[in-house]
Chains A and B, each alone.
Chain A
Amino acid sequence: MSETIAFELNGQPVRVAAEPGQRLLDLLRGPLRLTGTKEGCAEGECGACTVMVDDRPINSCLFPALEVDGREVVTIEGLRGPDNRLSAAQQAFADAAGTQCGFCSPGMVLTATALLNENTDPSDEQIRDALVGNLCRCTGYVQIVDSVRIAAEHLRGES
């Protein structure tokens, strides 16, 4: 039986029906029409479906939809400011070739954002530790790590 849940999605309240066993990923991509979150593997191995729940990055393919009741969820769409303004992490990924095919990019950007929310001066090792659950087949990760470093510099006001 479906239940009505209420939570904050990208800064705005939503009420929506969710079912036991439904994945948060499907709730977001289906009824909530947020297709920026990608399904890459459905088993928590690739990170393409990463969203933030209460500021922590999680794999929405493993996360039950019902469990976001009363919590805050941020998807890739929620990072963008008004008038299509990109967030610091999004802008850095766009500028510094952090994206190629782009399928892993929303998850990468969200994972990077969660890191940068806690630490605006991460070492490369800390960046890699944060991104280890996000697979990319195109970039070899080099310019993804660069992008996160550039976003951090930007957030610190150094660029």
Chain B
Amino acid sequence: MKEQKKIFKQQDKKACPERSRRITRRDFMGGAAAAAMAFTIVPRHVLGGPRNVPPSEKLNIASIGAGGMGASNTNACKGENIVALCDVDEDRARETFNAFPNAKKWKDFRKMLDEQKDIDAVIVATPDHVHAVAAMAAMQRGKHVYVQKPLTRTVWEARMLTEAARKYKVATQMGNQGHSGEGVSLICEWIWDGAIGPVRQVDAWTNRPIWPQGIDRPKETQPVPEGLDWDLWIGPSPWRPYHSCYAPFNWRGWWDFGGGALADMACHLLDPVFSALKLGYPSSVEACATKVNNETFPLASIVRLEFPARGDMPPLKLNWYDGGMKPPRPEELEPGRKMTSVVFIGDKGKLMCGEYGDNPRLIPETKMKEYKRPPKTLPRVKGSHEQNWIRACKGGEPACSNFDYSGPMTEAVVMGNLALRRLDQKLLWDGQNMKVTNDDKANEYVRPTYREGWAW
């Protein structure tokens, strides 16, 4: 096995110099994962799969969930051919539809993928509950995928997408665009340089939710707005009557559709933590919160994940606060200075950064000033996060937040929501087998039940 790993390592380096920071991660990932990942470095033309598009040619891109965040992702890809746009809500997608008059317009992504054959790559920017089914349908047809964060709403879905991406050998990227920023690379370099010593704790917090949570299902019903296909919007989730409290904006607060503050923001905030601290599956998770109901996420919560030692890195406690809750203000922080979103607590100091890994600083500032920065050994992503993916689609190196990285990270993130279902317990997690080992009931939340007609 050791030998095998060594080989992978060499191959990786060769095939993927830009993202050498991932390689170390692979060192500690299990054998099965390593073996599976090895496939990603086999040239595509050998194995078939997606259409081979050289860098000189344009990709044919389809966008699912073309309104909202999808509009921005689609625009960032407009240098390619935007050949298809799909949205269940005509009104919301109108602007994007108008911006790309040559693209074919669709409501049902299943039809689009079945009927329109010229698509190379797909952007999925629907509400969270549709991510997995849409991305899976695309990958099964050999399409590259860019999927908004969180990759999925549940642990099982993230695992399935991660495995499918390997199986179908497509280029993948999750929409945690901070990963393409300078901050994440700097944090990795500084922490690996020992700037704050071994890290045993990280605190992160967000002001989300900024949409309603902690509420019950509305009793009144409303007519479905013209132009919205409500049944398609519901997609794989259990059917319920339309209400404006779900679509287009506030679905994030509802268990059936979103993932609350955690799923919205943790794939950003915890991204530098996963990269720099080479995290894999957590060993345990516990949560506490304001009143939890079966309809919406609580108004405020704290999620506490524990990760085992990784190589020479000690075990880590990762604490997440949302809904107005915050970790203690670090004593190193100078009076008058705001605490930003993430604090790495090392044996020899602390590092603080923003929501997207941006503006990393050792604290206090005197420490930052004294710090002799290591050379920038990690190659930087050129251009946008979307461009990073497009290069991968055209046979370049895997995108920086491809599913081998973002899948396990999403799993850990949505584990927090699983823990919200089982308060007052520390759930022990067997990551390889996707199983809570000390609470059977918790395992009911690992995998969602899809509505008929939506399972893959």
A and B are interacting partners? no
Which residue numbers of A lie inside 8 Å of B, CB to CB? none
